[in-house]
Amino acid sequence: MFIEQAYKGKNDWWRVAITTAVSTGIFILNFIVFLIMPAEQLEETYESMKEMPNSLGLIVNLAPFAFLIGALFLLVFLLHERSILSLTTSRTKIDFKRIGFSLLLVTIVTVVGFAISYFNDASNIVWNFKPVPFAIMVFISLLLFPCQIGFEEYLFRGFLMQQIGIVVRNRWFPLVVTSVVFGMFHSANPEVAEMGYGAMGFYIGTGLLLGIMTLMDEGMELALGFHLGNNLLAAWLVTADYSALQTDAMFRYSGQENAADTLSEMLLGIAITYPVILLILAKKYRWTGWREKLTGKISKPITPPDATFSPDL
């Protein structure tokens, strides 16, 4: 099963500590700066980021993830002597059809949800499409968003979920912990400053959704596809002044909306759509044994599978 894939590599505490420190260092530093920086200075920082050209801001925000995912893969491969396949899935190969289906599903749900909202009340939404900036933004996002979402998924739903799971020997604890930490590491996003800590519910809820997908499907493919589709649509479809990334999206919120109302809509949206998404995936992939897969115990194999390290990435 997925969490047990960690037994295929070396899990000495110092190896795990090094990989965790290197991988999470940028998040921890960002979180500390967010906590200690005065509110006025934090606001100035957000405003200076908004003054950057959108395409440049996208590159500055996303480019570091290309190095981070490379570092994570190298550490897992060299330090833990594990294949990247074992970090991704319990299947014999990565199922790219699952990635594609999940990406398509979140795209449909997002576009339909936006269309309903737009036709119900478009007073706060304005047409923002500019062909050349939009094309540049699409190119940059297709190049760098896979690095960003890949790093977050391989870190939280992959490495940390597996390592925590084999330590505590159950499935529910790593699911909850990685989801909460995933939310905390997004606390410095401008959305949280604009809408308050209630916005953390969106990130933690999304982390739970992605974690449930991973455990029920015994692999990260569905989480990878969902996360990529969600972030691409967030960049391409609509932007707002309080967004973490300022993009040349097709639409822009005018800034007249009430932050509390926006937060309520976000939380209500995930409370409705996320269970529906899970039901669709459960039906398609015939998920069974929910209690065991989400809360069951982890047992160390008597003979670790694939004990001989293979350089197969």
Q: Half-sphere exposure (CA, 13 Å, Cβ side) for 45?
A: 14
How much is the pLDDT for 69?
96
Ordered per-residue pLDDT tens for the chain, 313 residues: 899 999 999 999 999 999 999 998 877 887 777 778 776 776 777 667 777 888 998 998 899 999 999 999 999 999 999 999 999 999 999 999 999 999 999 999 999 989 988 888 777 888 999 999 999 999 999 999 999 999 999 999 999 999 999 999 999 999 999 999 998 888 777 677 667 677 788 899 999 999 999 999 999 999 999 999 999 999 999 887 767 678 899 998 876 555 566 667 778 888 889 999 999 999 999 999 999 999 999 988 776 555 444 444 4
Query: Is residue 144 within 8 Å of residue 66, measured between CB atoms?
Result: yes
At 246, give phi and psi (nearest 5°): -90, 120
**Token pair belonging to 184:** 């905390």
How much is the pLDDT for 296?
95
How much is the pLDDT for 216?
98
Angstrom distance (rounded) from CA 59 to CA 135: 14
**Token pair belonging to 287:** 């998920």
- Rounded to 5°, the CA angle 34-36-38 comes to 85
How many other C-beta atoms lie within 10 A of the C-beta of residue 114?
16
How much is the pLDDT for 2?
95
Angstrom distance (rounded) from CA 162 to CA 149: 18
**Token pair belonging to 127:** 């047409």
- Reduced to 3 states (helix: H, G, I; strand: E, B; else coil), residue 159 is helix
Angstrom distance (rounded) from CA 312 to CA 9: 13
Residues linked to residue 170 through DSSP beta bridges, in sequence order: 297
How much is the pLDDT for 277?
96
pTM value surpassing 0.75: yes
- Cα torsion 290, 295, 299, 301 to 10°: value is 40
Angstrom distance (rounded) from CA 261 to CA 166: 41
Angstrom distance (rounded) from CA 233 to CA 107: 7
Angstrom distance (rounded) from CA 87 to CA 92: 12
**Token pair belonging to 16:** 């795990």
N- to C-terminal Cα distance for the chain? 19
